């Protein structure tokens, strides 16, 4: 069964540094998503992406965040100047359509900000 893959599995970064989290969605999917899960808390929606542009974003997704689909297979989340509170698990997901298709999740990248 096709999977969403995320790299790296764990990223440790100094506060203030830029970090890029990478995802390879399922190849025939058209909708891509990023979610965040702070340790012990619920999964929070960050952003959805379709047709090479952001379709929806949450209040968490401020100017420090950006997403990009640089080629036909990768989907990245960039945090420009990391803060301690950005430490979390970041999950990428993809789906074939919006709403009525389940989103398939990767195993996540654990981001630790020092």
Partner 1 sequence: AQSVTQPDIHITVSEGASLELRCNYSYGATPYLFWYVQSPGQGLQLLLKYFSGDTLVQGIKGFEAEFKRSQSSFNLRKPSVHWSDAAEYFCAVAAGGNDMRFGAGTRLTVKP
- Positions touching partner 1 (CB under 8 A) are 4, 31, 33, 35, 41-45, 48, 50, 55-56, 58, 91, 93, 98-100, 102-108
Instruction: Give yes or no for a contact between 103 and 4, defined as CB atoms under 8 angstroms apart.
Output: no
- How many other CB atoms sit within 10 Å of the CB of residue 37? 15
Take residue 19 and report the two structure tokens written for it. 């970090």
In angstroms, what is the minimal distance from the CB of 100 to partner 1?
5
DSSP assignment of 43-107 equals: EEEEEEEETTEEEEE-TT--TTEEEE--SSS-EEEEESS--GGG-EEEEEEEESSSSSSPPEE--
Shortest Å distance, C-beta 16 to partner 1: 27
In angstroms, what is the minimal distance from the CB of 91 to partner 1?
6
- If the CB atoms of residues 41 and 81 are measured against partner 1, the closer one turns out to be 41
Q: How far is the CB of 98 from partner 1 (least distance, A)?
A: 5
The nearer residue to partner 1, 9 or 81, going by C-beta atoms, is: 9
Nearer to partner 1, 45 or 74 (CB): 45
């Amino acid at each position: 069964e096709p999977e969403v893959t995320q790299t790296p599995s764990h990223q440790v970064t100094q506060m203030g540094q830029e970090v890029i989290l990478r995802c390879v969605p399922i190849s025939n999917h058209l909708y891509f998503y990023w979610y965040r899960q702070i340790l012990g808390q619920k999964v929070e929606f960050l952003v959805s992406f379709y047709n090479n542009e952001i379709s929806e974003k949450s209040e968490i997704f401020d100017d420090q965040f950006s997403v990009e689909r640089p080629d036909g297979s990768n989907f990245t989340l960039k945090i420009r100047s990391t803060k301690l509170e950005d430490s979390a698990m970041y999950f990428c997901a993809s789906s074939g359509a919006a709403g009525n298709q389940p989103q398939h999740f990767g195993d996540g990248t654990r981001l630790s900000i020092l």
